[in-house]
Amino acid sequence: MADEDTYPGWTAVSDLVALRDRMRLFTSERDWSGFHDPKSVLLALVGEVGELAELFQWLPAADAAKIGQAEPLHTRAGEEMSDVLLYLVLLADVLDIDLAAAANAKLTQAARRYPAPSAPSGLPTAPRQPG
Amino acid sequence: MADEDTYPGWTAVSDLVALRDRMRLFTSERDWSGFHDPKSVLLALVGEVGELAELFQWLPAADAAKIGQAEPLHTRAGEEMSDVLLYLVLLADVLDIDLAAAANAKLTQAARRYPAPSAPSGLPTAPRQPG
Amino acid sequence: MADEDTYPGWTAVSDLVALRDRMRLFTSERDWSGFHDPKSVLLALVGEVGELAELFQWLPAADAAKIGQAEPLHTRAGEEMSDVLLYLVLLADVLDIDLAAAANAKLTQAARRYPAPSAPSGLPTAPRQPG
Amino acid sequence: MADEDTYPGWTAVSDLVALRDRMRLFTSERDWSGFHDPKSVLLALVGEVGELAELFQWLPAADAAKIGQAEPLHTRAGEEMSDVLLYLVLLADVLDIDLAAAANAKLTQAARRYPAPSAPSGLPTAPRQPG
């Protein structure tokens, strides 16, 4: 089986680890780690969720996807969702949580809890991860 | 360079793309896509942020990281953060947003907005992405 | 004019002040005031907003009001909204904010910011408060 | 006992009803009621909670109350809390919920659920309401 030991030069693709590493560098270069207790990061995340909500609050529900796929909302939504993601990645780092592993486990759990009657081949399986 | 064409059977996928694909499959197998307008997904994300907040609300701020790194909170926090992440990934998919690209762009922007006086080598750069 | 000095034994209290006073008593009887720093109360409020969001997240937007006016959602929504209100009242007390006065001032401000073209008689005015 | 029937000219003191009535007038003068489905109002409330969270997110937990009682944070916090309250009052109106009654009932419920061991006189009771 292909794995990173077998194929030198290959790098496991993890956006979440890459973002975590950038956040770590960003934080340490600014000496901001003292601010990053869990409750503070959580409130920062709540702030960004609020900004995201403001973008969509008064849109007609049925048209929101279409409007959100067009500019200028598309870029704005991407920015606010990025902020939410970055604080989530930061919080996971502060708590020493492997976010990708946790999310895959949660999806497997959800698939068991809500069985798909029509699924031809049982539970959804995660695309094979390298390593 | 190693790439997916070279090693048949192997597909390099980033973890955010992998989660998106699992969410797509999960949704389509249950025929739930009709529920996934942006405002509904946003409210679901708010619900999960609320559950995450409840885990930390009464902890002393100074001890919250240590307590959150230990069980049982570590697993619980990972589950709620996963739910937040999965709804964020779903919302990005509904809006046709490349979350990893958007988050990297946002971090580059943040690094310009808040220059790091002591940074020896300028802006943090994203780890090289394969593919 | 009737006022509280005229009728001994009778104390006119606004409902927000009454809720504040009940929260104070509730807190002091349980010796919980040590938990009520603003960031903790804010996270508790976020938790309750999350529970409220969960009640409505998957409802069709157009039917949500009708469904929410009927049981069992009506009672459940009232409970979660009460929790949000109570934490808001508690936070105001911790910060020494007169919530009724602040909200009336904010509404007056909003009325100036968004003039009503058709308003026959200018800004809405608050009903006269007794006392 | 004093009640409003006994003392003509006396007006029951309800800040929440007064705010509801101002919100109704504000909404109708601008012809905005079409926007006020529950999910939209909920997202607006989330947006305001986010703005409130942003005011406190990086403050040291132990000093947040003191800082929040001083300007300029005191006024800013009052404004954001007012916005949260006004959307809560609006949502209650849309759902035909008596927020004061619901909150008092919820507090009575909470007092039963978390008995106060040291309470000399049992459950906290609401200050007597006129009417």
Q: What ipTM score was computed for the predicted complex, to two decimals?
A: 0.83
- The pLDDT, as a whole number, for residue C14 is 87
pLDDT at position B121 over 50: no
Residue A46 Cα, gap to closest chain C Cα (Å) = 8
Burial class (CB in 10 A: 0-12, 13-18, 19+), B123: middle
The chains in contact with chain D, meaning 3 or more Cβ pairs closer than 8 Å, are: A, B, C
Total beta-carbon pairs less than 8 A apart between chain B and chain C: 57
Contact B29/A124, CB-based, under 8 Å?
Answer: yes
Tens of pLDDT, residues D116-127: 875 444 444 444
Kindly identify which residue of chain B lies nearest to residue D47, measuring between CA atoms: B46
Side chain identity, residue D89: V
**pLDDT at residue A8 is higher than 50:** no
The shortest CB-CB distance from C46 to any of A46, A60, A61 is to A46
Cβ atoms of D50 and B46 within 8 Å: the answer is: no
Model confidence pLDDT, tens digit, residues B43-89: 999 999 999 999 999 999 999 999 999 999 999 999 999 999 999 99
What global pTM score does this model have? 0.85
Radius of gyration of chain D (CA): 19
Residue in C37, C39, C49 nearest the CB of B46: C49
Query: Do residues B2 and A9 touch, judged by C-beta distance below 8 A?
Result: yes
Q: Phi-psi region for residue D122, left (φ > 0), alpha (ψ -120 to 50) or beta?
A: left
Task: Give the separation between CA B78 and CA B110, rounded to whole angstroms.
Answer: 26
D9: left (phi over 0), alpha (psi -120 to 50) or beta: left
At A83-129, the pLDDT tens digits run: 999 999 999 999 999 999 999 999 999 999 999 875 444 444 444 33
Q: Which of D40, D43, D61 sits opposite B61 (nearest CB)?
A: D61
